[in-house]
Amino acid sequence: MVEFKNISFSYSKDSGVFDIDLKVNDSEFCFLVGPTGSGKSSLLKMIYFDILPSEGEIDVLGYNSRKTKKNKIHKLRKKIGVIFQDYKLLKQRTVYENIALPLHINGVGRKKIKYNVEEALELTDLLDCQDKYPNQLSGGEQQRVCIARAIVKNPEIILADEPTGNLDPAAAHKILKILEQINKEGTMVIMATHNYKLISDRDYRIIELKAGSLVSS
Amino acid sequence: MIDQFAFLIAEGFKSFYRNKLASFLCVITIFINFSILGSLFVVGYNTNSLVDFFRSKYSFEIFLKNDIDEDDYTDFMDELSRNNIIANTELIDKEKSAFIFKEEFGEDVVEMLGYNPLPLSIKVFINEESFEFDQVDLLIESINTYDFVDEIEYRGRYINDIEDRINLAIFLFLVFVIAIIFLSYQIISNTVNLSMTNRKDFIDILKYNGASGIFIKIPFYIESILYSVFGSVFSYLFIKYFFISFNTYFGVNVKLDDNLWLWIIGFSIFIGLYSSNQSMKRNLNE
């Protein structure tokens, strides 16, 4: 479960997030919507404690933003998969190596790494690309590699920050379908987007932000 | 666990290999710095032997008046021998003085003058371990009070001057050594900085996927160990063969400490780890 308790954080007087009270339950799928600069990314960053609120507190999977020491944050992050709009793939590594990285961090053995990576590649329809380098892939494929990297460690939460922002509608739908499939297996998914058209026909909870404040949830 | 460790080791080597130019420059700089540092160490090591050599030469000579009788100087020598700052004494009688004179000037003074004008003297060797100039000065002062003492020839102060200069040189060496250590620190630290900046994406991905601080650091530690080991091994080999050639060419005997290799490599790794740790602390905002 993720719970924001009256949190605020500001970059400057006008930008940031203000007085957010919000709860997202386990296995829930929700969209975080709002225009650019509304605070969607900041809210996501707060979930994996990349940004800590200046007021209020957040509880994520039993980790509290006030009580968790800096050197323990990595334990929380092991349970969260993050998907970035700009993919953040390592260009000098193959698709396979990029996806395997979180498993190396978790100390998983070589055989289990191979099994889990192949499973993630299958789910994201990337089996044919595993030996390619990111710059040999299309934007949609790169985003799927990013998703595979996020899901390979079987996280409890997936945070997707504008995962379809750079993609054409067909590729965007494919990404969304993969995320839905992951959610069906019990993983909480929070997806930030400003693509209202993409989510309009989906019946999921929508959390709307405007100028850093919660409009509806 | 073993797989994880193997992964980290491999990452360290990959990082070293990927930043070829920076790694090469860092290794070259460590090589130059530690070649200078190691050479200074060798010079310092041999300077100590030089000081010991000078100290072993600390002695003074007491010239006695011609009218002294044998009992007086025998008692006097016994008294000197009991003093713990004196290692030993040697009597140079008139015959021996004449012999030394002949050896040094090629003339037989007795034959030339018809008598032996040279005085009786006692050569006093100072114990080098408990040597202190003030004590020697006091001893000379007290010896001068004896009626039968004509003159004392003492060159300790010249040797002291030489020692002072050697100590000044050692001090300048130390300043130079500190400067070189600082330079090595800066260079390794900057190279690791550069490496971390180049690999910011990698570090971010590690962080967001739950890597602990030490997990992120290990590859960079390995990278800096590689810089240090390569640079210092080359510098040790350079120093060793340089001084072997130096000894052969100039026919001297500059000695190398048996543990020099350990000292150079160990110290270089220490600086490498320390500077990379400082650099990582800055980069990871610890």
> Alpha-carbon distance B49 to B43, whole Å?
10
In the prediction, which pLDDT does A53 show? Answer: 92
Side chain identity, residue B60 = F
pLDDT grade for A183, boundaries at 50, 70 and 90: very high
Residue of B nearest to A159 (CA): B208
Chain B residues whose C-beta sits inside 8 Å of any chain A C-beta: 1, 3-4, 7, 18, 201-202, 204-213, 215
User: Which positions ≥6 away from A5 have C-beta within 8 Å?
Assistant: A21, A56, A57, A58, A59
Joined together, the tokens standing for residue A190 give 């929070």
- The pLDDT of B115-120, averaged and rounded, is 84
The residue among A157 and B40 whose pLDDT is bigger is A157
Q: Which of B1, B13, B205 to mutate to test the interface with A (most CBs of A within 10 A)?
A: B205
Cβ–Cβ gap A104/B207 under 8 Å: no
Query: pLDDT tens digits, residue range B80-98?
Result: 888 888 888 888 888 888 8
Q: How close B282 comes to chain A (CA, Å)?
A: 15
Q: Which residues pair with A209 in a beta bridge?
A: A214
> Alpha-carbon distance B276 to B26, whole Å?
12
State the average pLDDT for chain B: 84
User: Which positions ≥6 away from B25 have C-beta within 8 Å?
Assistant: B191
Torsion angle, CA of B281/B266/B38/B48, rounded to 10 degrees? 120
> Alpha-carbon distance B232 to B203, whole Å?
28
Query: pLDDT tens digits, residue range B171-212?
Result: 888 888 888 888 888 888 888 788 788 788 888 899 999 999
State the average pLDDT for chain A: 90
Other CB atoms within 10 Å distance of the CB of residue B171: 10
Cβ–Cβ gap B204/A50 under 8 Å: no
pLDDT at A96 over 90: yes
For residue A190, CA distances in Å to A30, A137, A152, B263 come to: 5, 26, 17, 56
The pair phi, psi for residue A41, each rounded to 5°, is -65, -40
Cβ–Cβ gap B202/A74 under 8 Å: no
Q: Which of A41, A77, A153 to mutate to test the interface with B (most CBs of B within 10 A)?
A: A77
In the prediction, which pLDDT does A136 show? Answer: 95
Residue with tokens 């004509």: B150
In the prediction, which pLDDT does B55 show? Answer: 66
Q: Which of B2, B16, B207, B209 to mutate to test the interface with A (most CBs of A within 10 A)?
A: B209
Residue of B nearest to A97 (CA): B7
Query: pLDDT tens digits, residue range B208-267?
Result: 999 998 899 998 899 889 989 999 999 999 999 999 999 898 888 888 888 889 999 998
pLDDT grade for B52, boundaries at 50, 70 and 90: low
> Alpha-carbon distance A17 to B107, whole Å?
107
| This prediction's pTM | 0.70
DSSP secondary structure of A144-194 = HHHHHHHHTT--SEEEEESTTTTS-HHHHHHHHHHHHHHHHTT-EEEEEE-
Query: pLDDT tens digits, residue range A112-123?
Result: 999 999 999 998
ipTM: 0.86
